[in-house]
A = this chain, B = another copy of it.
Amino acid sequence: MHVSNLKLYRHPISGHSHRAELMLSILGLDYELINVDLKNGEHKKPQFRKLNMLGQVPVLVDGDTVIADSSAILVYLAKTYDKTGAWLPDAAVELAEIQRFLSIASHQMVKGLVTARAIKLLGKDLDYTAAINESISLLNLLDEYLNGREWMVGEQHTIADIALYTYTKLAPEAGVKMDIYSNIRHWLGNVESINGFISMNAKK
């Protein structure tokens, strides 16, 4: 292991941070985790806002390059460090399908599973019923979609799988039982069998 230039600003409870770490780990990269003190508002202070104007984790710093947003980090890492090209294929249709799942990760998943988990875990004052309905609706669709599929897009893993993995895995923390979603559970297992997979907060 050489001294790493890759620093991931994150928080241990943040599923968005885990997405980024998962990709770093799977690509076999050496990286340093830097905890951002969300509880004391460190992410809203000017120093952190220089890294991300939105004041959110995760942010990846790679030498002089700063990338905010978990989906953007997945794109950056795949494009820079995946020599196989498998994680972010170049073909138009596959690229568009991946984008579609990145949009779902930023929209329906945030509205549903991310919000429901934040209410349960952090006591956020938001509409839990609405968040659960959105979660169930998305999980129903994904389970049907994954029928007969091993991966979200095409015949092999892509960044779409990484983008959707964490909050789906964390659904029980959001108060959602996953028993009935057998296709989703099979797919979660596929992601977990990828070489280099790392669970949330497994790294010391």
Binds B, one of A32-40, A98-106, A196-204: A98-106
Chain B: minimal CB distance from A179 (Å):
22
- Say yes or no: is A181 at the interface (Cβ < 8 Å to chain B): no
A contact residues, total (Cβ < 8 Å): 32
Name A76's contact: one of B65, B92, B108 (CB within 8 Å).
B92
This chain's copy number in the assembly: 2
- Between A75, A100, A103, the greatest number of chain B beta carbons within 10 A of the residue's beta carbon is seen for A103
What B residues does A104 contact at CB under 8 A? 54, 69
Name A93's contact: one of B65, B69, B110, B145 (CB within 8 Å).
B65
Give bound CA distance, A111 to B144, whole Å.
27
Give bound CA distance, A80 to B96, whole Å.
10
Chain B: minimal CB distance from A41 (Å):
15
- Say yes or no: is A68 at the interface (Cβ < 8 Å to chain B): yes
Given A107-B110, A108-B54, A110-B107, residue A99 in contact with residue B102 (CB < 8 A): yes
- Say yes or no: is A73 at the interface (Cβ < 8 Å to chain B): yes
Given A92-B79, A107-B110, residue A99 in contact with residue B54 (CB < 8 A): no
Main SS of the interface on chain A?
A: helix
Give bound CA distance, A74 to B93, whole Å.
11
Given A93-B65, A107-B110, A144-B53, residue A100 in contact with residue B72 (CB < 8 A): yes
Q: Are A100 and B145 in contact (CB under 8 A)?
A: no
Q: Residue of B at shortest CB range from A81?
A: B92
- Of residues 77 through 128 on chain A, the ones whose CB sits less than 8 Å from some CB of chain B are 79-80, 92-93, 95-97, 99-100, 102-104, 106-108, 110
Name A72's contact: one of B70, B103, B106, B145 (CB within 8 Å).
B103
Which 10 A-B pairs give the minimum distances between C-beta atoms? A76-B96, A79-B92, A106-B106, A72-B100, A72-B99, A69-B100, A72-B96, A106-B107, A80-B92, A75-B99
